[in-house]
Amino acid sequence: MSEYRTERDSMGELKVPADALWGAQTQRAVNNFPISGQPMPAPFIRALGLIKAACAQANRDLQLLDDARADAIAEAAGKVADNRYDEHFPVDIYQTGSGTSSNMNSNEVIARLADSKGQLGVHPNDHVNMSQSSNDVIPTAIQVSACLQASEHLLPALKHLHSVLEKRAGELSGVAKTGRTHLMDAMPVTLGQELQTWAAQIRSAYRRIQDALDRMRRLPQGGTAVGTGINAHAEFGERVADHLARTTGFEFVSADNKFEGIASQDVAVELSGQLKGLAVALMKIANDLRWMNSGPLAGLGEIELEALQPGSSIMPGKVNPVIPEAVCMVAARVMGNDGTITVAGQSGNFQLNVMLPVVGATLLESLEILGNASRLLADRAIATFNVREDRLGEALCRNPILVTALNRVIGYEKGAAAAKQAYAEGRPIIDVAAELTDLSREELEKLLDPLKLTEGGL
């Protein structure tokens, strides 16, 4: 058997690996774009399969495609959607800006799978791509894959992280510690309040992402080449969206204005911006954990993160905060990805954006790594750290800023003098205040109770 077979398209003949399911147009793309060695990600291939199946079903519903071909295409596309043939999608991310190569890759693979015996005459363009253009298929694939990756992967991970934060916040609601502003000692808070703050950040990020998905679910499929819907039935887009919604359980709908979804990637830019917001929150949380864990002797030493691996190849016994560090790197990557998507989002003229593949691949990477990092942060850092209450108590009793609670009684100026003296002499503020004021020790203990001060108010 020959190592290659000969395929033909409108530009002529060329050789294709004998066992490849793709055809001539895919092979041209493989030859033309040896850039990164990175094909489009699996969630994107899944979305292409789902879309092609939905399109075949819609064309059958509208009596544009016979039952035999429609069923065969839908079945083959379903296998693609199950990611059973990802190795037959070799086209590089960095390809033609419309993603035509990836669209034709899916058309050729599905046509060959649907007509493996050569009895139906399934054509990649005439049948698999019926009523479609790369210009509406690829933007739709970006939106479908992002919606599914967000709803099935990222949002459940954020729910889990939020749940773990809430649980630990409840457990630590009675543990007071020195608060910090400008990295300097401030009024006390509880560890529970600190974790509740992180939980609120994650909850807000979750809601912002959900809100962005509301616009991402409005699909441009049916707009075909430029948004007018040329060569597609007027009901085609709605029927495709209905089939996708039934298949996936996600509430996809047909966009009212399909020109927008083809000409722009504003929805992807919006979602990416919300992912960047989440990355900022995760980096803040991870850095707080690193500071609290710092030491164990020369740093804050407030908590001990779970020891997961040796921290040095030369310093025995050293253990590092590896999970927060990994989360920070994920956050940095997502922030960079947002810059890529921002540039790509404005890279089109008139009726078509021409950086679609990099938008799709980059957005999906952000969704994937944010979901993974969120679960790791929850399970290997938040859920498992130990509190060093001795260190917390030691710092609290020496915190002169507690004198703020005496402002109403002794005034700001006398409070400042007491704080400075306590700093200078390294003495607890309660001892200095007892000398400088007429308040009894009992009154001072009541006014300067750190846990009570975390409740706020007068």
Contact 410, 437 (CB under 8 A): yes
* Catalytic residue chosen out of the listed positions 2, 10, 182, 313: 182
User: What is the dihedral sign for C-alpha 407, 410, 414, 418?
Assistant: negative
The reply to whether 160 belongs to the active site is no
Which backbone phi and psi does 192 adopt, to 5 degrees?
A: -60, -40
Residue count (the chain) = 458
Contacts of residue 285, defined as CB under 8 A and 6 or more positions apart, other chains included, come to 198, 201, 327, 377
Count the alpha carbons within 13 Å of 240 in the hemisphere toward its beta carbon. Answer: 34
Cα dihedral 247→129→134→272 (10° resolution): 10
Helix axes 236-248, 134-149, angle to 10 degrees: 30
The reply to whether 182 belongs to the active site is yes
Alpha-carbon distance values, 270 to 16, 211, 213, 231 (Å): 40, 10, 9, 31
User: What is the dihedral sign for C-alpha 209, 242, 254, 92?
Assistant: positive
Alpha-carbon distance values, 288 to 172, 198, 300, 378, 382 (Å): 16, 10, 11, 14, 11
Token pair 């200095």 is found at: 432
* Catalytic residue chosen out of the listed positions 36, 116, 204, 312: 312
Contact 356, 138 (CB under 8 A): yes
Query: Rounded to whole angstroms, how far apart are CA atoms 109 and 114?
Result: 9
375's tokens: 């679960």
DSSP E strand stretches across 69-140: none
CA nearest 239: which of 71, 64, 57? 57
200's tokens: 């609120």
Contact 289, 328 (CB under 8 A): no
Contact 360, 345 (CB under 8 A): no
Contacts of residue 183, defined as CB under 8 A and 6 or more positions apart, other chains included, come to none
Annotated catalytic residues are: 182, 312
